[in-house]
Amino acid sequence: MALYTRYLLEEYGEMDSDYVFVNLWDGRIGAPMTYATVGAFFQRLQRRTGIYARPHMLRHTHATELIRTGKWDLAYVAERLGHTNVGTTGIYLHLQNADMKAALQDYAARRQGKSR
């Protein structure tokens, strides 16, 4: 995600767009890429890098990263992704043992601070 963010900042420059995948070279600059164009872009990336990735995976990564910050409630993440059911959003989260350990340590530290 960090690499893609840096890429966007370098390529977009001062362009104002709400889209993640936009035309930067062909067609109307700043217009959203078509679904087929984005798919072809990811296939080219896979051929060049050998890494399997699809655009939808970025939604999963974004949801997981928002929860990892500890500042986003699941309901807010659901709203951000356009889900009407937070259960759907839970499917998008890919937390690891380290995430659980950090959350438990944070909880324990806050609990100790309150009991003093």
Cα–Cα distance measured from residue 32 to residue 27, given in angstroms and rounded to the nearest whole number: 10
Cα–Cα distance measured from residue 106 to residue 37, given in angstroms and rounded to the nearest whole number: 43
Q: What's the pLDDT at 51?
A: 93
Q: Residue 22's beta-bridge partner residues?
A: 32
Q: What's the pLDDT at 1?
A: 62
Domain residue limits at 18: 2-49
Percent of the chain clearing pLDDT 70 (strictly above)? 90
Q: Mean pLDDT score of the chain, rounded to an integer?
A: 85
Question: Do 60 and 15 fall within a single domain?
Answer: no
Burial class of 107 by CB neighbour count within 10 A (0 to 12, 13 to 18, 19+): exposed
24, pLDDT greater than 80: no
Question: Do 38 and 60 fall within a single domain?
Answer: no
- Taking alpha carbons only, the member of 60, 53, 109, 110 closest to residue 80 is 60
63, pLDDT greater than 90: yes
Q: What's the pLDDT at 49?
A: 93
Domain count, the chain: 2
Instruction: State CA 71 to chain mean position distance.
Output: 15
